[in-house]
Structure 1
Amino acid sequence: MVGKLFNIFRHTIFLILLKILLLAFVSSSFIFISSRVFAKKIKKEMLNLEPEEITNLYVNTKSLVQQQAAIIDNIHEGVVVLNSSLEIININKKVFEILHEFDIQLFIKRFYDIFYEKKNVYFKEIKIGHEKVFVSIIHLLEDENHLGVIITFYKHLEILNLAKELTSINNVITGFRENNHEFKNQLQVISGLIQLKKYDLVQEYMKNLENSNMKILTEIANISDYYILGILIGKFSVIKENGINFTIDQDSILFKEHGFITSLDIITIVSNLLENAIEALEKVKINNKKIELLLLEDDDSIQITVFDNGLKVDPNIKNKMFERYVSSKGTNRGIGLALVKSKIELYNGQFILEEVDNGKYFTIILNKEN
């Protein structure tokens, strides 16, 4: 019985070992094949790169990221990079130098339509806290996929100083050109009268010139801002050459400094309103064409009113005349009033259009407070 049981036991052990070996072989084969398939799939996902290549790529990528961070930090403008979820993935130090009070969530909330409608904005003048800056917002799109946003902030003072230099130079050149042209005409009139020996008319003509110059000086006597004076003196000659009588209300008053409001912003508004008035008068046939300007300033606000007796505003564009490229004057026009609108928004101001029987009043009010 012991021998018989021993043989049965030995046979059972043999069968168990055989099954174990068979199972181990099958398992090893399955694991080997699965691991090969899995490794091949992983390698495919890793773009068929070997471990050494992945290491080199990681080192190079890390170096590239560091280089990109260094480049962004050394950019002269403030740069903020957002991902598609509008979360910050990079921001340079310059942002906090330009803007001491910067909160990305408040910024996105303020310009909700720009971010969520994926609009691009170039050099928009805005106020954040107590600082005034220019900002560009560029959406990164690939096909229809939104990859992120790049926000760039520019120092307001630097662009303002550059614009002042360009504007003042342009005003001087324009003034010289117009005064030179007018001076030549006056000399020709005087020379002709002298040749005709009409000395009494020469005296009368020169007296009229003196009165005309005194009239201009009297009208702008209460305007202390030299940039505004420069543009107005230039506009006198241009408007006069168009056969239009241009007057500045004697109640006008303008300080030399305007708080947060810059002279260039006032020039932008005045120039565009006067240009619109000139163009409105070009299309009407009346004898007494006139433009009147009123500038009023106090501690709280600045009011700019321009009156002309030209064409009325086209009813088809009245509700959207501040939109860019919307104009009754043809294609590629309508930029001037869009600039005026940006200044109104910048200073939380208001616009009033009043049409009367003999013309229309454009009034812009800018707030000097934050």
Structure 2
Amino acid sequence: MKDNKWISKLSLKKLTILLVLISVLASLVSSALFLHYYITDREREVLTEEIRNITRVVAKDTRVINGLTEPSSDSDIQRYASQIVEDTDLSFVVVLDNDLIRYSHPDEDYIGKQFSNTEDASKALNGKEHFSRNVGILGEGTRFFTPILNEDGEQIGVVCAGIIQENVNQELWDAQKRLYFGLSIGLCVGLIGAIYLAQQLKNILLGLEPREIVANIMERDIIIDSVNEGIIAVTPEGKVLLSNKNFIKLMKLAEFSGDSIGGGELDPDIFEVFFKKVFESGQPVLNQVIVVNQFEFIVNISQVYIKDSVYGAVATLRDQSEMQQLIRELSGTEQYIDSLRAQNHKFMNQLHTILGLIELRKYEDVTRFIQILDADYHREIGFVTEKIKCAAIAGFLLGKVSELKEQGVHLQIDPDCLFADMKMGEMLHDLLLSIGVLIDNAKEAVIDSKNKQVNFFLRYNEDENVIIIEVQDTGVGISEELMDLIFERGFSTKGGSRGYGLDAVRSIVKQYNGIVDLQSIVDVGTVFRLEVPYDRKGRGQE
């Protein structure tokens, strides 16, 4: 506790700035470390890739190849190598023949002499490229060796190009300077943001420090608890903003059955009695008598506004039971009031009973019913997935069951269904399309019927290698004159831009050399049966 005394002495503004700065600084430092290593690795990758690409370009240049083939033109190699060094970030480009004799070098005194590290350069004489990091004449550096081949594909030399470590370090530092500059800007922005945030918090809290706010709240509670009247303030949603002990005492005297301000929420019945009318009408209640369980209050209620918007309402309550009792007896209205109170009491008891059951969580019947529904639902899912192993079809059918159920139609899946898994492909897509059309048509056929049921059957007959799909409805049926027309494109008994579903089904079945069978009895129902040949083994379960 002693270690934290200095924190408690800080003002809210200083404490906010300090916390924000610590957060920003920690974030920037962690980001800087990450970016530092990232930039370092990235720069090294870029430099090595640049060295490799330039070295390969030099090795394929005709001036280099001709210079090695015709030694009299070696000065062209030196000029070309010097130009490459001047135009790029490389520190050196050295061309060697097969005897590792230099044809170019940043220091011309070394031209015509053998390469300093013959062991390293010799590795490229076998036609293979390689990187190396060694100390050479110009100092420590990274270099890349690549063979030089003539037009016949024979190796006639080696190109060695690279950059000294001093230049590498300079490149890395140049890249990191931009990073540190950006982080410095971020720190400055964080400082400005911290100062701005601290000032805004100060303004929101009306310039008060946290300890001052706590003191004011304690003083407020002492003052409102010393008032003889009951005080309660709530939001339009019933959240308690303020209350005193006398309000709770008055609710107990009125023998109110609920928890008046439990969990920071005003009891819905109390809210309705005192505040509902005020929030609905927007008019204050002044010195009005309100009776709660034969206990009378003189109530004043007014809305509270913040920036022209309703923030809540505050009510003050006074006990006026004895005075009002005497007035009622003298005025001869007791009998009438008792009658009204009896009706009100009966109604309130009914509400309290319902509310009590809910508050006491007596949901046994509801819970049991939900559990039964849940069990039925899971049994249905288990049945479908057990019988139909193809996930796409099973999921599609379960979706259709829910869809039809919402529309008051029962989709019954035959317990004799049996269908193996099938890989996603054109045929599975065609099957889903056909099933969807048949079920949707059956649904529309029964939507106006008394018995709204659609039966579905799907089975793969392994003996005959045929898929059987059957959809039966209890609709109005199809007359004989329409039996031959319903498969024609554009024909529909529903009218409009319809009549394409069954045509598509017939085309699909015909494509697989299957058959479509239709049986219908007017006012009884219709059965569509599809038989589609399918060699599951021959297609590898496609």
- Same fold flag (TM > 0.5): no
TM-score (norm 2): 0.31
TM-score (norm 1): 0.44
Q: Relative contact order, CA 8 A, sep 6+: which one is greater?
A: 1
